[in-house]
Chains A and B, each alone.
Chain A
Amino acid sequence: MLKLIKEVLKVGEATLPYPFEPIEQMPGFRGKPHHDPERCIACAACAIACPPNALTITTDFDRGFQTWSLFMGRCIYCGRCEEVCPTGAITLSPDFELAVMNKQDLYERADYKLVSCQICGLYFAPLKEIEYVFELLRQKDMPEEALAGMRSRLETCPECRRKNDVPKVVNLYREEV
């Protein structure tokens, strides 16, 4: 008996004190995806990458809104969203205390405005995404007048752009002939 007690004292306590003290997480632990809504450009890359469709993007063309939504109850914490995010808006935090009493608390949503086309006036792309592309072009040292031209081009929907471009191309071809 004494021998056993000695042995036990030597080994010490293996049980972790959690939940009375915080638990130490290993580096690289993938917990709750943290979404920084200010940095998000609503490009939907994460929604396409998400294997269980926990991340979804719904577009309301009438009101001109794009809603990013994450349902934590379906998330499998694979980190694909973090991998594909071009602006680093999503990172997997070490936060694991996600249990809830009410299912609605598992939802995270963010609304982003859409841009309406300069020609047809229909909503077609998120404003922040267009701004992001514009900033990228500026970073590539595009001259200011070219940027201004690009602005109207970026704010035209693909359909109208196609309609606009075809006559130009035809004219070019005629001039050459």
Chain B
Amino acid sequence: MFGDFRNDQMVKEHSKYAIQVDEQAGQLKAALLKDIQRSIFVYRVDCGGCNGCEIEIFAALTPLFDVERFGIKVVSSPRHADVLVYTGSMTRSMRVPALRAYHAAPDPKICVAYGACGCSGGIFHDLYCVWGGADKFIPVDVYIPGCPPTPAATIYGFAMALGILGQKMKATHHIQGEEERALPCHPRVPVELRVDIERESRRMAGYLYGKQIAEKFLDSFESDPKHVKRTIQSYLDQQDDPRLTEIMTRLLQVHQTHQGEE
């Protein structure tokens, strides 16, 4: 929304150096993408990330996920590589090394934009020194989003690049229907009570868990307003969590004060 314009001039100037894949290399690459019959060697290019992505790549190499069973091996030189994995956002000072790594790798090669930063600049997209994702200069074949992608997501991305698995994501575009309405949640709970419950729950457990806990409370209120205390108590006995008990007890108190007012 904001920062995209800041470096526009500079990026535009440098975008003319963006790599165009020539025809022959393109054909080879298409064949490579279609059916790779051999192991692939991967070279990582860190263009200026936080190293979270590197940690996850190495987690994917551990015995637990073990990408080497597919013949995927991390190599230490782009000259040995079939796949270049670009992690981190494309920073001004790393653009030249990134390009050098690309040119050093033999054709045909597959480029992977890895992580939110590699795909688009991620959370750093509006920094003064960040020029966007890897695809600003490098012809990217596979995008693996995530911050960082989990080892499983990494395996999925590589399996997709190798043609083992198909793509699941599709671009969607919803257009508001004629009679489309959104109603407030929990219509049977008095608004004041709902607001107080949500507020207290947020105060004690934070936004995310507070919301979940309030949701649980309001659900049991809606299903049986008379016996909230009993339902909640049996739920708490099931969960056996002192923190949850503390918060739910407080919510029951809030509920009681509302009853007292009525």
A-side interface residues toward B, CB under 8 Å?
14-16, 18-19, 23, 37-41, 47, 51-54, 56, 71-77, 79-80, 82-84, 87-89, 96-101, 103-113, 127-128, 131-132, 135-136, 139-140
Q: Is the CB of A74 within 8 A of B176?
A: no
Residues of B within 8 A of A112 (CB): 176
Q: Is the CB of A76 within 8 A of B123?
A: yes
Residue B8 is within 8 A (CB to CB) of chain A in the complex: no
Bound-state CA distance A40–B176 (Å) is 10
A40: contacting residue among B63, B65, B182, CB under 8 A? B182
Bound-state CA distance A132–B182 (Å) is 6
Instruction: Identify the stretch in B17-25, B98-106, B138-146, B238-246 within 8 Å (CB) of chain A at 4 or more residues.
Output: B138-146
B116: contacting residue among A14, A39, A76, A84, CB under 8 A? A76
Closest chain B residue to A58 by CB distance? B1
Bound-state CA distance A47–B2 (Å) is 12
Closest chain A residue to B121 by CB distance? A74
Known: A76-B116, A88-B185, A106-B169. A128 touches B176 (CB 8 A): yes
Bound-state CA distance A76–B211 (Å) is 20
Q: Is the CB of A106 within 8 A of B175?
A: no
Q: Is the CB of A99 within 8 A of B184?
A: no
Bound-state CA distance A96–B173 (Å) is 21
Distance in angstroms from A125 CB to nearest chain B CB is 14
Q: Is the CB of A76 within 8 A of B171?
A: no
Q: Is the CB of A111 within 8 A of B171?
A: no
Q: Is the CB of B185 within 8 A of A110?
A: no
Residues of B within 8 A of A83 (CB): 207-208, 211
Distance in angstroms from A43 CB to nearest chain B CB is 10
Q: Is the CB of B159 within 8 A of A19?
A: yes
Q: Is the CB of A72 within 8 A of B64?
A: no
A105: contacting residue among B121, B171, B215, CB under 8 A? B171
Pick the 4 closest A-B CB pairs, nearest first.
A73-B119, A99-B157, A83-B207, A76-B147
Residues of A within 8 A of B181 (CB): 128, 131, 135
Q: Is the CB of B119 within 8 A of A74?
A: yes
Residues of A within 8 A of B146 (CB): 77, 96, 98
Residues of B within 8 A of A18 (CB): 65, 152, 155
A111: contacting residue among B141, B164, B175, CB under 8 A? B175
Q: Is the CB of B145 within 8 A of A99?
A: yes
Q: Is the CB of A135 within 8 A of B167?
A: no
B169: contacting residue among A15, A72, A75, A82, CB under 8 A? A72
Distance in angstroms from A112 CB to nearest chain B CB is 5
Q: B166-202 CB contact bits vs A (8 Å, 1 = yes)?
A: 0111111111100011111101000100000000000
Bound-state CA distance A54–B140 (Å) is 20
Bound-state CA distance A15–B157 (Å) is 18
Query: Can you offer 10 A-B residue contacts whose CB atoms are under 8 A?
Result: A15-B69, A53-B126, A87-B184, A96-B156, A98-B169, A99-B153, A100-B142, A101-B141, A105-B167, A110-B173
A101: contacting residue among B1, B2, B69, B160, CB under 8 A? B160
Bound-state CA distance A77–B150 (Å) is 12
B167: contacting residue among A54, A99, A111, CB under 8 A? A99
Bound-state CA distance A49–B215 (Å) is 21
Residues of A within 8 A of B187 (CB): 139
Bound-state CA distance A93–B140 (Å) is 27
Residues of B within 8 A of A77 (CB): 146-147
